[in-house]
Amino acid sequence: MIKKKMPDKEEQTEKKQNETADNKDINDKKEPADMSIEEASATTGEGEQETEGPVPEAAVSDKVVPPEKTFEEKLAEMQDKYIRLSAEFDNYRKRTLREKIELSKYASESILLQILPFMDDFERAINHIETANECTGVKEGIDLIYVKFKEFFKQNGVTEIESLNCPFNFDLHEAVAKLAVQDEDKKGKIVEVIQKGYYLQDKVIRHSKVVVGE
């Protein structure tokens, strides 16, 4: 029987060393491929940060910083603003005063413009009286003017104060005389109106002048 020759210890050790070296070479070749995406990006980022340099001094020096104002300059600026504001207020005050004077002076303009047509009617009536042979036409013309005048007052909020046969009221009436009456129901009441009184809206603009029975 032929016996196989067993390898020596030195040959076994050399063989193990060769296998270890081969495995190391294979692992070194695989490391770039097995590197994760995060590691690659981190490596790239570090490279980019290193390439960034400091901000050039020329860019900083181009910005012009205005010098800070002194106390005297600030005081002069405030005084100038005060003078301008005072002049503007004085002009406003004068303009407002002038407008108030003109308003009070011409406040009745609109009312007078509405009254002028009645003056025209009266002038036509007077001219007609001189040539009229009968009084009927003149009377009708005056009645028309009177109705027109009353309508004008009504449109402007002027109404007559009811006085005749009404109890005397100090807030509405002014007694100019007293008259003795036989009828008990007329005592303390107005028996005659001397001059009519008027309201403007709800304000008494003229009291009625009346005769009171007693």
User: Can you give the pTM of this predicted structure?
Assistant: 0.49
Decide if 214 is inside a domain.
Answer: yes
Q: Is 125 left (phi over 0), alpha (psi -120 to 50) or beta?
A: alpha
Q: Are residues 208 and 165 in the same domain?
A: yes
Chain position carrying tokens 């027109």: 148
Q: Are residues 86 and 124 in the same domain?
A: no
Q: Are residues 175 and 212 in the same domain?
A: yes
Q: Are residues 84 and 119 in the same domain?
A: no
pLDDT tens per residue, the chain (214 residues)? 444 444 455 555 566 666 665 555 555 544 444 444 445 444 444 444 444 555 555 555 556 666 777 888 888 889 989 999 999 999 999 999 988 888 887 777 888 888 888 888 888 888 887 777 777 777 888 888 888 888 888 888 888 988 888 888 888 898 998 988 888 888 888 899 998 899 988 899 899 999 998 8
Q: Are residues 121 and 92 in the same domain?
A: no
Count of domains forming the chain:
3
Among 147, 192, 195, 197, CA closest to 171: 197
Question: How remote is the C-alpha of 79 from its chain's centroid?
Answer: 31
Q: Provide the 8-state DSSP code for 189.
A: B
Decide if 44 is inside a domain.
Answer: no
* pLDDT at residue 126, as a whole number: 82
Do 114 and 97 contact (CB within 8 A), yes or no?
Answer: no
Decide if 86 is inside a domain.
Answer: yes
Q: Are residues 117 and 99 in the same domain?
A: no
* pLDDT at residue 112, as a whole number: 82
Among 192, 159, 200, 198, CA closest to 175: 192
* pLDDT at residue 45, as a whole number: 46
* pLDDT at residue 127, as a whole number: 81
Q: Are residues 178 and 200 in the same domain?
A: yes
Domain that holds residue 203: 158-214
Decide if 126 is inside a domain.
Answer: yes
In DSSP notation, 118-180 reads HHHHHHHHHHHHHH-S-HHHHHHHHHHHHHHHHHHHHHTTEEEPP-TTSBP-TTTEEEEEEE-
Decide if 55 is inside a domain.
Answer: no
Decide if 42 is inside a domain.
Answer: no
Q: Are residues 151 and 195 in the same domain?
A: no
Q: Are residues 131 and 181 in the same domain?
A: no
Q: What angle do CA 204, 208, 209 make, to 5 degrees?
A: 145
